[in-house]
Amino acid sequence: MSDTKNNWPLWEVFIRSKQGLGHKHVGSLHASDAEMAIGNARDVYTRRQEGVSIWVVPAESISASSPKDSEALFDPANDKVYRHPTFFVLPDEVNHM
């Protein structure tokens, strides 16, 4: 969707919940500047105690992988079991990780 000069820029919103470790993408909104974007994100995306921290990023700053490249990007990892740390036997003293 192109943003004409009549539309506010689009921002992507990431929220970290109280118990969470990382900010998760929750949606997007329009705002004229970063301050308004944070205020709007607070109003739209944290009404039900969803989070304690907000990140907003202009949508145009985000680069995403293309779906048509998914095979080449992700399939090769499927059958490389040696990359997973599952063969190492932990000593008893640290075996409760």
Partner 1 sequence: MNKSQHKQALLRLGDDALILGQRLGEWCGHAPALEEDIALTNIALDLIGQTQSYLSLAGSLNKNDTQTDDQLAFHRIERDFQNLLLVEQPNGDFGDTIVRQFLFDYYALFRAEHIASQTFDLDAAAIAAKAIKEIRYHADHSSKWVIRLGDGTDESHSRVQKSLEKLWKFTGEMFTVDEIDIAGAASGLLPDLDSIKTKWDSAINAVLKDATLQRPEDGWMQKGGRFGIHTESFGFLLAEMQSLPRAYPDATW
Interacting residues with partner 1 (CB under 8 A): 8, 29-32, 35-36, 39-40, 42-44, 47
Q: Are 9 and 60 spatial neighbours (Cβ–Cβ below 8 Å)? A: yes
CB of 23 to partner 1, least distance (A): 19
Residue (40 or 54) nearer to partner 1, CB: 40
The residue type of 64 is A
CB of 31 to partner 1, least distance (A): 7
Half-sphere exposure of 86 (CA within 13 A, CB side): 5
Run of H or E including 16: strand 10-16
CB of 48 to partner 1, least distance (A): 12
